[in-house]
């Protein structure tokens, strides 16, 4: 069950931005990293619309989904799919809830290191708070006229079994995440595009991230 849920997270939740514009190496890197750290610290919550594009080579086609994304520091995430069918994923601390076809499943992440790492990857990539990731990744930084582009490749063999590469695209003006892509293999990927983003609007007392 845990392995199946991990695959679900890796294939459905994570995502990233593949860019077609010409990239150049990002410089000066230290200044960008410091700015990214400040922006992440100042962001207590995020809510936005998203469109998910999923491609599996075996099906030779793309599957589109739509929904609403919510995040609140330090580790609360809600992915609420509305199209083509209702689907809900909530991560709150050490707990994960999935609601599909009216059935709810709750898992405890505390005892599973791989699931904990997936939670950290998800939170870091979805929000742009990449400083929270450990050193077990290879990083490449690039830029285009409108975006900063960060490519992340896991060094751990256990993570490589699920994730080939992640690419995060951030808007230059405010470092908000515009696109996010997870490549499970060299061909299969899931990509999110975020719009209508609002920062620091979620009340800490609401039940958006509630898990019984």
Model pLDDT for residues 174-188, shown as the tens digit of each residue:
989 999 998 888 888
- Tell me the CA distances in angstroms from 210 to 32, 72, 89, 166, 206, one per residue in order: 35, 12, 11, 28, 8
Q: Classify residue 9: in a domain, yes or no.
A: yes
CATH number at residue 183: 2.50.20.10
Whether the pLDDT of residue 121 is over 80: the answer is: no
DSSP string, 76-137: EEEEEEEESS-EEEEEETTEEEEEETTEEEEEE-TT-HHHHHHHHHHHHHHHT-GGGS-SSE
Domain count, the chain: 1
Q: Classify residue 31: in a domain, yes or no.
A: yes
Q: Classify residue 207: in a domain, yes or no.
A: no
Q: Classify residue 177: in a domain, yes or no.
A: yes
* Mean pLDDT, residues 7-32: 60
- Is the entire prediction scored with pTM above 0.95? no
pLDDT band at 108 (very low <50, low <70, confident <90, very high): confident
- Highest mean pLDDT of the ranges 19-28, 95-104, 128-137, 197-206: 95-104
Q: Classify residue 86: in a domain, yes or no.
A: yes
Pull the structure tokens for residue 153: 């490749």
Q: Which residues are CB-contacts of 201 (< 8 A; sequence separation ≥ 6)?
A: 45, 47
pLDDT at 5: 47
Whether the pLDDT of residue 2 is over 70: the answer is: no
Q: Classify residue 210: in a domain, yes or no.
A: no
Whether the pLDDT of residue 29 is over 90: the answer is: no
* Contact between 128 and 172 (Cβ < 8 Å): no
Q: Classify residue 7: in a domain, yes or no.
A: yes
Whether the pLDDT of residue 25 is over 50: the answer is: yes
Q: Classify residue 204: in a domain, yes or no.
A: no
pLDDT (tens digit per residue) in 135-192: 788 889 999 999 999 998 888 887 788 788 889 899 999 989 999 998 888 888 899 9
pLDDT band at 3 (very low <50, low <70, confident <90, very high): very low
pLDDT (tens digit per residue) in 59-70: 777 899 999 999
Residue 87 is part of which domain span?
A: 2-199
């Amino acid at each position: 069950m845990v392995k199946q849920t991990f695959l679900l997270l890796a294939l459905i939740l994570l995502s990233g931005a593949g860019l077609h514009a010409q990239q150049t190496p990002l410089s000066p890197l230290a200044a960008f990293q410091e700015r990214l750290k400040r922006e992440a610290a100042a962001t207590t919550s995020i809510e936005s619309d998203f469109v998910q594009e999923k491609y599996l080579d075996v099906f030779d086609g793309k599957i589109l989904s739509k929904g609403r994304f919510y995040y609140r520091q330090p580790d609360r995430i809600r992915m609420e799919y509305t199209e083509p069918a209702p689907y809900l994923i909530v991560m709150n601390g050490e707990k994960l809830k999935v609601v599909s076809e009216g059935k709810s499943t709750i898992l405890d992440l505390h005892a599973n290191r791989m699931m904990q790492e997936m939670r950290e990857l998800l939170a870091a990539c979805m929000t742009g708070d990449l400083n929270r990731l450990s050193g077990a990744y290879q990083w490449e930084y690039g830029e285009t006229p409108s975006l900063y582009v960060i490519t992340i490749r896991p060094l751990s063999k256990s993570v490589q079994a699920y994730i080939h590469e992640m690419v995060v695209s951030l808007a230059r003006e405010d470092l908000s995440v515009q696109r996010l892509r997870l490549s499970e293999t060299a061909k299969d990927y899931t990509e999110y595009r975020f719009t209508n983003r609002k920062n620091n609007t979620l009340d800490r007392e609401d039940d958006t991230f509630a898990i019984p």
